[in-house]
Homo-oligomer: A and B are copies of this chain.
Amino acid sequence: MRILGVDPGSGATGFGLIERRGHTVFHLCHGVLRPPSSATLPERLRFLHARLLAIIEAEAPRVAVVERVFLASNPHSALVLGQARGALLASLGAGGIRVAELAARQVKKSITGNGAADKAQMQAMVQRLLSLEVAPPTDAADALALALTYAQAGPLAELPVRGRRRSRRRAMTGLVLGRTR
């Protein structure tokens, strides 16, 4: 089962694709989509939509995982994030794949054991868990972390963290992590 993590952002959208075979997880690819900053907003959103759709069509993931949005931010940043998210979710819809949402805190806890882990910790753990030669860029690391968390817990990952007593760190390291393609 191929799982695509997507970390939407208007300036940089991270993506990461992994494959789970039984209890083994393989890294397939990751990257960051950066629309040309000189382009107009519609052109930049078209770029995000088209590039993600191309990835979906080429790689045929079964499920995509995006971060659940918590609205601590102000209306302006919510609108800007919403626009990027809308273009990207529309392409996931066009690809006909199921979309799951996970909370950032849950993903951080799952990957590092600490729900408040910083970006460097996340990069380091994603690199280690997927046996990557170099740490992925932060946006791509976040996307791979979403996919890894989903791979480990499956649809259960979508449940709220509260009330789930099992250590996610322990559960994650129970996975045998495979080589990079």
Contacts and interface: CB of A to CB of B under 8 A. Distances in A.
By size class, the interface of chain A is: 35 or more
Contacts of A91: 46, 49
Nearest to A82: B82
A79 interface: yes
B93 A42 contact: yes
A46 B78 contact: no
Interface string A39-52: 01111111111100
Interface string A20-46: 000000000000000000001111111
Contacts of A71: 74-76, 79
Interface of A: 40-50, 69, 71-94, 99
